[in-house]
Structure 1
């Protein structure tokens, strides 16, 4: 009998806790397992590598997840499919997300003058 999404969600949380992740981190990563379960029409243990790849592309392109959210997705799916289910799919080895680099917020001339005026007054 196929196991439901809640079973795999709990197993993923347990696996992440066993590897030293905090409860909050484990729940955050495992939330992607729940999202996967809602997006596919078959049990999670019956998905193949291509179906998982298509889900990842859906989350990236259609849901437009940011790099940090993609890292959470990758960690959750790797925990389930690699660590819990024991799959050795090549896809799981290549999942990586680029680091986001944000530019510092620029301030305008009046803000600089206000900062300097405040620094110069006793």
Structure 2
């Protein structure tokens, strides 16, 4: 890195921190800044329109549209907060609006995949992710203090957008979590990082690695024989769809489901009404009924 780039790189880091950007956004924006610096000869504060056109043209040929969009957003942030200039080249590259629907697993398919998870830590974690509609980062970080047994709720803390939410905790999931916790008795974490058979998992303050959970899901999917392009996050999409389907019969409205999923916009939740078959405020009873079959995994 030359001195000029190091100066702007550090300034970008500072502004991203001050603007409270998520760690993933910080990493992506800084990666984009390095990429621009590597591929364009002009200094970052002297970028020309023609150079940016060529840069984005190569980016479109090499990377996905999500990466192209990320680099455009990163440069816009750099101009606005670091250079204190107006970003004038918004239309250099136009990102296509793709309205794709997520891949969904049926309840039978979900149960089939979960039943192929041999290790208790992965089976319990992925069952919790599905049965409460969690993101993978939310699932691996569950702490003992997040569980409210009296109200049968899980307190999801500091999630996407730095928001907390309370989600219904199905009885069968609570029992699975408790059974697994008894195996390690870590006072802080439900899913402590595995320390190996010869070392104790009861004292670590590190939670389970997301990569291990993703690999376990991928292996279980292969063992299940299902030919679907799905991931751990598909469990959250599937939960939302199944909830909408069950909610239509039970009378639970989409606003309740929006709160459970932690969506900022009702439009995000409404996507699942397009994926479900054609919502009473008794959402707890509906969710417990929906998740009863998971008891076979214990």
* Global fold match (TM > 0.5): yes
With normalisation by structure 2, the TM-score equals 0.31
> Per-residue deviation at 1:38?
0.7
Distance 2:12 2:40 in 1: 18
1:43 alignment partner in structure 2: 43
Matches within 5 A, 1:102-113: 104=103
> Per-residue deviation at 1:59?
0.9
Matches within 5 A, 1:50-65: 50-61=50-61, 63=62, 65=63
Q: Larger relative CO (CA 8 A, sep 6+): 1 or 2?
A: 1
2:13 alignment partner in structure 1: 13
Distance 1:34 1:48 in 2: 17
Moved over 4 A (4+): 93-96
The number of aligned residues is: 108
> Per-residue deviation at 1:29?
1.1
> Per-residue deviation at 1:93?
6.7
CA-atom RMSD in angstroms:
3.2
Determine if contact 2:53/2:92 at 8 Å carries over to the other structure: no
| Unaligned segments of structure 1, at least 5 residues | 112-118
> Per-residue deviation at 1:11?
1.5
Distance 2:94 2:13 in 1: 21
Determine if contact 1:32/1:73 at 8 Å carries over to the other structure: yes
Larger Rg: 2
| Unaligned segments of structure 2, at least 5 residues | 110-224, 227-292
With normalisation by structure 1, the TM-score equals 0.66
Distance 2:21 2:57 in 1: 26
Moved more, 16-25 or 26-35: 16-25
More helix as a share of residues: 1
What is the DSSP-based 3-state SS (H/G/I as helix, E as strand, rest coil) of the residue aligned with 1:27?
helix
